[in-house]
Amino acid sequence: MSEIKLENKIIELIRQMVADIGRPDLFREPMVGFVSATDPALLNIKEIVGPWHDLPDDQLPGAKTIIAYAVPSTREVALDPGISEFSGLSWSEAYILINEQFGVISEAVADYLRSLGYEASTVKATNDYDPSDPVSSWSHRTMACAAGLGAFGMNRILLTRKGSAVRYCSLLTTAELRPTGPYDGPVCLGLDKGPCRLCLDACPVNALTRWYEGGKFDCQSLQDVYHQRMIDKLSIDTAGTCGKCISVCPLAYID
């Protein structure tokens, strides 16, 4: 099978599996990208992200390509956290559901590649860090950025051609696929101290402001306090989701 045909098969498989979830009220058609496992940005990832981040070979020895895919939210989901006192319930439902489906989708793609004689390795979508040290050994957003699906904004969200209300996953394979190239879509309006600070101001625990002003980025542990307040008031657990910094972004949803 030619390289381009294999890429198209993978893209179609991912698109079909997202459609098969049967929730067009939550999710839109996914975006899929490919990046070489030997791309300079990935080989230097321990310097770019942190020493805790795995190299592609750590996840799959002999990896040739990372397949990154991104599932954009619908307008209703994207705007939900910004218009509610706490994290929006549709946002939380979408978060939980796509986390469950990412594993199913990635395994299906990996099985397909294995059926063609390639090796493939999936990476779970949920956080794999120790709660006392909130870092992850693999950043799906960074893989999506490297694959040309988006560009980072000032609060570490990834802005894509479909907006910033997007969830990401990735897997590795020994198949050598054609890289999708650099991102050429819209970028964050607050980069380089630009005029937009909506995401910083929306954070209920001021995590982004502290980081932006030179402090440690500690969104997750500070969110834990916020979510406990939410559970105490609403008697519901929305799986540690927030989304306010994304929801208020002027480019949260792009049609």
- In this prediction, residues 15-41 reach a mean pLDDT of 97
Counted residue by residue, the chain has a size of: 255
Predicted local distance difference test score (pLDDT) of residue 129 = 45
Structure tokens at 79: 């705007």
CA 56 to chain centre: 17
The beta-carbon contacts of 203-207 under 8 Å, at least 24 apart in sequence, are 203/244, 203/245, 204/242, 204/244
pTM of the predicted structure, to 2 decimals: 0.88
- The yes-or-no verdict on residue 133 having pLDDT over 70 is no
**Is residue 32 helix, strand or coil?**
strand
What are the residue boundaries of the structural domains of the chain, listed by start?
A: 3-247
On whether the CB atoms of residues 73 and 223 are closer than 8 A, the answer is no
Predicted local distance difference test score (pLDDT) of residue 128 = 46
How far, in Å, CA of 102 to CA of 95, rounded? 11
178-202 pLDDT, tens digit each: 999 899 999 998 887 678 888 888 8
Residue 208, C-beta contacts closer than 8 angstroms, at least 6 positions apart: 155, 199, 200, 219, 245
How far, in Å, CA of 182 to CA of 151, rounded? 9
Best-predicted range by mean pLDDT (8-17, 154-163, 180-189, 196-205) = 8-17
Residue 228, C-beta contacts closer than 8 angstroms, at least 6 positions apart: none
Residue 243, C-beta contacts closer than 8 angstroms, at least 6 positions apart: 80, 81, 82, 87, 88, 91, 95, 165
**Is residue 121 helix, strand or coil?**
strand
The kind and range of the H/E element at 65 are: strand 65-72
Instruction: Select from 33, 10, 42 the least CA-distant residue to 147.
Output: 33
**Is residue 138 helix, strand or coil?**
coil
Ordered DSSP codes for 169-182 = EEEEESS-------
